[in-house]
Structure 1
Amino acid sequence: MRTPAQQAELALLLEVAGTPKPGNVDRHRDLEELRFEHFLAGAVGARTGLDLAADGEPVGTAFERAVKGMAAQGGDNTQFGALLLLTPLVRAARDDLTRATVSSVCENTTVADAAGFYRAFDHVDVFVDEPPADMEPLDVRRGSDAIPALEERELTLFDVMERSVPGDDVAREWLTDFERSFGAAERLADTDETEPLSKRTADVFLELLAERPDTLVANRRGEDVATSVSERAAQLLADDGLESDPDALEAFADDLVSRGINPGTTADVTAAGLFIALEREAISV
């Protein structure tokens, strides 16, 4: 039987193996400077931090260690957002992996946890929008240099996530009891077990993308582009669009990659859903 940390590592590996996931790295597609093997190495590197979460270490400590290990490969940032979801989920799995339990884990984070989150930015380059002028001292891109301002304001990690919504759907999961992550797990459990899990994962990714514009795309390319990507995903799912044109999804995936449009937040939620489904034995490998 796998430990929660092993399940989380497997979830990261299964997420990147799902194909096609339009705009994202999968086993058939690389991005210009980010390749499939970088994600494999990132998942393995994150394991030590995930083990710390499973052992009951503070969320911030475990997250920073997971990010440090993840970043020790040539692609730099592969799974930062996914680890920000998986770390409290793994910590919650020590007791009972429910929305109430993970909500309690998140709400009871401390200023020290927030400091660990900020230190994680010392290890990796993460895309973040410019903060308002009054929030510049708390700019996460400052990494550990921002910790004195964080401590002065006595902000917990949950407080930091609260200040990131709207605009960041990974942070939004922290505030909604991981609503979409648990929903993704339920969808994975309802998929056809006779099909490869890589395809089932990609199917759920596309459903999530169709339902809600990806916030990473919105922050990088604008709300209109993010909305158009979601609308295209919805069109493919509607009226048996994929059955009438089986090549349409592959073409959509290739188009987003060629345009540099990366729905990475949707991939993060998919990874969290995979972990929940694996840990609850709703899917098996």
Structure 2
Amino acid sequence: MRDRHRRRGGARLPRRDPRRQPPPARGGMTGLDPALIGTLYRAACLAELDALKPGNVHAYAAGHRMEVADFVTSADVSAGALAEQGAHVGARIRGGVAATMAAVGQNTNLGILLLCAPLAAAAERGQTVASVLGNLDRADSEAVFAAIRLANPGGLGRAGRHDVSAAAPGSLLDAMAEAADRDRIARAYVTGFADVPAIGLAALAAARAEGLDPAWCTTAIHLAYLCAVPDSHIARKHGPASAEGVRREAEAALAGLDLAGRPVDALLALDASLKARGLNPGTSADFTVATLFWDALAAAGAALA
């Protein structure tokens, strides 16, 4: 039975489970086919939208002057660049951002692309994520800095070193290391995406073990990130104290909550409270997409770790 609060904030989305995909298709000798990678990426983006994620845009409620349709379009138009055969990581990110900005006129998926591009490249090449990150070059750095300037994410501010308004450094990993203490996505680049298995995939496995359906498994992933670490997007726009406050608030609000019981009202109350204060845990949502994408790629045969 559908939840009675369903679809208050956006158009109906097709139900997709990123786990249920065609048999693995191979590109070259060892990697996945780029077309399959693009399909899995789009499915992960749509699955994330279909879940109730407090504070974010989702199929239950819009927010932050954005609608579900903006993100559906963004997934559609960015998939080609994200999965472009043979493309460098930076080119995938820059191409995805450019396509998104042309289609919806705002930044909806920079964080998603920053996280998913290395996964896509690793899956196509038949390499681990760590190997892909270790081989990033100056071209990747220049393309990523160009993508960030184009997307112009809110609250970015200025940095003493490796500021995105300046020339890109020779090493993207050096720039990410500089920002790692204040930005969880930057930290992912220097830790080999450690948060995805440790937080996201662990939450997904636990949710599946409890028998949750795909949408509620996705909610479980998002809540795991929201409660585990202060959200970087909130920290960037409102300060680290606000981000930690939201983390603690979410932890308290969700204590003892049983997702098997589909607690829509409780989650919508937290959702409304965060949105009323302009608090958008966007980085938690970005990592949720990356977790679903990683899981789908692994199910298709990619060995990312």
TM (norm. structure 2) is 0.79
Q: Distance in 2 between matches of 1:211 and 1:32?
A: 23
Matching residue of 2:193: 178
Task: Call closer, same or farther: CA 1:130–1:84 in 2, change over 3 Å.
Answer: same
Runs of 5+ unmatched residues, structure 2: 1-21, 23-34, 301-305
Could you tell me which of 86, 94, 101 is aligned with 1:64?
94
Letter matched to residue 212 of structure 1: V
Task: Call closer, same or farther: CA 1:237–1:31 in 2, change over 3 Å.
Answer: closer
User: What is the count of residue pairs matched by the alignment?
Assistant: 264
- Does residue 1:253 correspond to 2:253, yes or no? no
Task: Call closer, same or farther: CA 1:236–1:33 in 2, change over 3 Å.
Answer: closer
Q: Distance in 1 between matches of 2:92 and 2:270?
A: 37
Other structure's SS at 1:28 match: coil
Letter matched to residue 119 of structure 1: A
Task: Call closer, same or farther: CA 1:129–1:93 in 2, change over 3 Å.
Answer: same
Q: Distance in 2 between matches of 1:159 and 1:110?
A: 11
Matching residue of 2:83: 51
Q: How far did residue 226 of structure 1 move?
A: 1.2
Could you tell me which of 290, 296, 299 is aligned with 1:278?
296
Q: Distance in 2 between matches of 1:75 and 1:35?
A: 13
Matching residue of 1:93: 123
Letter matched to residue 169 of structure 1: R
Matching residue of 2:163: 139
Residues 73-152 of structure 1: matches in 2 within 5 Å? 73-74=103-104, 76-96=106-126, 101-132=128-159, 134-135=160-161, 138-140=162-164, 142=165, 146-147=166-167, 150=168
Q: Percent identity?
A: 30
Task: Call closer, same or farther: CA 1:118–1:240 in 2, change over 3 Å.
Answer: closer
RMSD, aligned α-carbons: 2.3
Q: How far did residue 32 of structure 1 move?
A: 4.0
Matching residue of 1:163: 178
Matching residue of 2:27: none
Other structure's SS at 1:94 match: helix
2:222 and 2:288 in contact (8 A); partners too: yes
Task: Call closer, same or farther: CA 1:254–1:75 in 2, change over 3 Å.
Answer: farther
Residues 213-224 of structure 1: matches in 2 within 5 Å? 213-224=230-241
Task: Call closer, same or farther: CA 1:185–1:94 in 2, change over 3 Å.
Answer: same
Letter matched to residue 270 of structure 1: T
Task: Call closer, same or farther: CA 1:42–1:246 in 2, change over 3 Å.
Answer: closer
Q: Distance in 1 between matches of 2:207 and 2:66?
A: 29
Runs of 5+ unmatched residues, structure 1: none
Matching residue of 1:6: 39
TM (norm. structure 1) is 0.85
Q: Distance in 1 between matches of 2:125 and 2:80?
A: 20
